[in-house]
Amino acid sequence: MNQTVIAKHQVFICGSALRGQPDRANLGNAKFIHAVNTEPLYRLHAAENGWHPAIYQVD
């Protein structure tokens, strides 16, 4: 019996894999769903070496 399994996952993308960026091709046929924003209570930025996203709460 041959079966095809299609896995669907929603992921958050930050950085060079965003639409129009150089690493976007690494996502293959991934479909863009929608843009989101963090709540005003949080800030999103590149951590330490600039390669990893980090989020922190502001006072």
pLDDT tens across the length of the chain (59 residues): 678 877 788 888 887 888 888 999 999 888 889 988 889 999 988 887 777 888 899 98
Q: What predicted TM-score, i.e. pTM, was given to this entire model?
A: 0.55
Report the C-alpha gap between 10 and 43 in whole angstroms.
21
Report the C-alpha gap between 30 and 52 in whole angstroms.
21
Q: Where do the DSSP E strands lie in 7-51? A: 42-47
Domain tally, the chain: 1
* Domain residue limits at 4: 1-58
